[in-house]
Amino acid sequence: MPLIFFKYFNFLNENLTELLFVFNSENPLSNQSYLVPLGISFFTFQAISYVADIYRSYLKPEKRIEKLAVYMAFFPYILAGQIERAKSILHQIAQPVSFEYQNIRAGLQLILWGVFKKVVIADRLRDFMDAVYANPNDFQGVLIYFALIFSVFQLFCDFSAYSDIAVGSARMFGINLTKNFDDRVYVAPSRRIFWQGWHRSLTSWLRDYVFFPLSRNVKKQSRLYFNLVLAYLLVGVWHGATWGFVVWGFLNGVWLVLEHWTEKRRLAFFSRLGFDVNGRVFNFFGWLLVIHVGAFFGVFFRTDSPEKAFNFLGNVLNSNTNLLGVRETKKKSKT
């Protein structure tokens, strides 16, 4: 409940206001202006997993409150790191740790690598993309396309940088955190494989505490697909309270359903055409598809409403903003 109130109350209330307006009614509730507690999403998810694991007898209750507090609020991951499980952290906290040269060196290397990805790559790409996303009508279509493609790498470098810094910081204290992002995630030939290496702690949390419980004893494939889409809707909502995140999560869930539903027929079709479905050429085109799907879905991730996302995407093919159209307009103006 605290997570829903602090993070999603205003979003839900604004949509309730618009719904009531359709029926000529007024919403008696007003939006709240308050400070959102730092790391509330991480606190909540880690608390849920802790209680659920105890209930399932996967974990024994921690008797010392200070150890539980360290697990819940360990500073490296509480703001932008991974969602850690109690069973992987509590036993490390319980063991005495001394500062070791190997841990300090490995931790500093990860921190510096994370800072490099964040400051040198992600922030430089973000400067370009922020300008394009702010006024897409002012840019040529080819630049908008490059902003789309660059966005997938900017997002990876930004998110994985925070994860590297978190893992490196914890490593210096002798605590081993899980690797949240696969460095080769964008080499994946399918979105299913992509999601196996992207934000692993979040997707595995939703798998274990949302998808599996909902899918227990379910025999209908359609119900499993519905649960999968619901899980990825939650992936989107977890990132923020906007319709852009909702649509982004929904599209990813639907794409994974379609990918799974058509997999055997697609592979059989391409095999009949003479393609080696395990070969480099086939995987290369799969990689291109993963990049472009991620880029176009990512527009909804970066915009707070579907209207802005469609406006941005529309400018990619807009004849008034593509490179050729701009050159032709300039030539006509000179004559």
Under 8 Å between Cβ of 70 and 93: yes
Helices (H), 98-220: 101-115, 123-134, 141-172, 191-197, 200-206, 212-215
Dihedral sign for Cα atoms in the order 9, 12, 15, 20: negative
- Annotated catalytic residue within 91, 239, 260, 292: 239
**Burial of residue 315, with CB atoms counted within 10 A of its CB: 0-12 exposed, 13-18 middle, 19 or more buried:** buried
**Burial of residue 106, with CB atoms counted within 10 A of its CB: 0-12 exposed, 13-18 middle, 19 or more buried:** middle
Q: In this structure, what token pair is assigned to residue 131? A: 């300008």
Cα separation, 298 vs 196, whole angstroms = 18
In which region does residue 257 sit, left (phi positive, over 0), alpha (psi from -120 to 50) or beta (all else)? alpha
Residue written as token pair 């394009």: 132
Compute the half-sphere exposure of residue 90: CA atoms within 13 Å on the CB side of its CA: 19
Cα separation, 83 vs 204, whole angstroms = 9
Q: How far is CA 227 from CA 119, 218, 264, in A?
A: 38, 10, 21
Which of 265, 200, 205, 198 shows the shortest CA–CA distance to 48? 205
Residue 239 appears among annotated catalytic residues = yes
Residues labelled catalytic: 239
